[in-house]
Homo-oligomer: A and B are copies of this chain.
């Protein structure tokens, strides 16, 4: 009797939405029992489990992640992407997703738009949303800031070098090695006058991939006895400025014989500008990119590029994150070897 009255009250109070209380009332058990079944915790008989499962099925109950997050885990990972149209991301995301979904985890993505304040806000937002951990892809946030956030939430960073970080993990391809790979391949083909094109930006942090690749380029040039041929050009960010810069660069008679671009993001537009101006690739200019994006593989582009194996980076970072969520507290810094995909542009 009393029981029934309580059930009715419970049903009324929730106003339409099926909550754990609705299920408990329907199954005739306590709220805690339903919670136990949901988490398949210890101390639940088969009879109880079946009863509760039936009610859940019948009512179409879905636990609220928000409410769950207030005490336990949310089983959700946050993934912060630098921007939506970066060619490096799809592979990485795919890798993360495969590991996460196998572990029963959901993913929420934040899009950073490559602007620093936005990225910090996104991290804060993911903390506020009680994600169990976050993966930052190609973030530009400084290590010190990250150490601060790492106190609040497990963090793994892809595409940003912080080998001395103690609060969070990093997963990278060997950016220096990748650039060196390219220099050696170009030298083997007889090129000597090899330049590096890097992203022009305000705060030039050494931990970013661009500067790392530049470092690898410089070292490899020195190792090849080409220290004097070393040339680095900065590419402006804005699209029209970049176009003008490429035009001037390509029309300069003193331009290098081969270039390594810090990313396909700039290499593809360079190929486009060369095409427009009638500069033949590789006869007039050899070009190599970085990221082995889908566009680079198109036959009319056919751009040689360094492949980072994004899916593997993604998988490794997700695994690192899970082990950190599980309790590991000493940092892991993983580096995998990139390889050069040779195409007709060299």
Contact = CB atoms under 8 A, between A and B. Distances in A.
Interface of A: 17, 62-67, 69-70, 74, 76, 84-85, 89-90, 93, 97, 106-111, 113, 121, 124-125, 127-130, 152, 268, 271-272, 275-276, 294-295, 298-301
Contact of A107 (B106, B111, B128, B300): B111
A89 to B, nearest CB: 6
A278 to B, nearest CB: 11
Nearest to A64: B128
A85 B272 contact: no
Contacts of A85: 90, 294
Closest 3 CB pairs of A and B: A109-B109, A65-B128, A66-B66
Most buried by B among A63, A129, A275: A129
Nearest to A87: B85
A71 to B, nearest CB: 10
B275 A65 contact: no
Contacts of A74: 66
A111 B97 contact: yes
Contacts of A64: 70, 128, 130
A127 B62 contact: yes
A14 to B, nearest CB: 13
Nearest to A85: B90
Contacts of A129: 65-66, 76, 108, 129
Contacts of A66: 65-67, 69-70, 74, 128-130
Contact of A295 (B17, B113, B271, B295): B295
A276 B84 CA distance: 29
Nearest to A83: B90
Contacts of A127: 62
Given A67-B70, A90-B85, A268-B298, A110 B108 contact: yes
A273 to B, nearest CB: 8
Most buried by B among A109, A272, A276: A109
A264 to B, nearest CB: 12
Contacts of A299: 272, 275-276
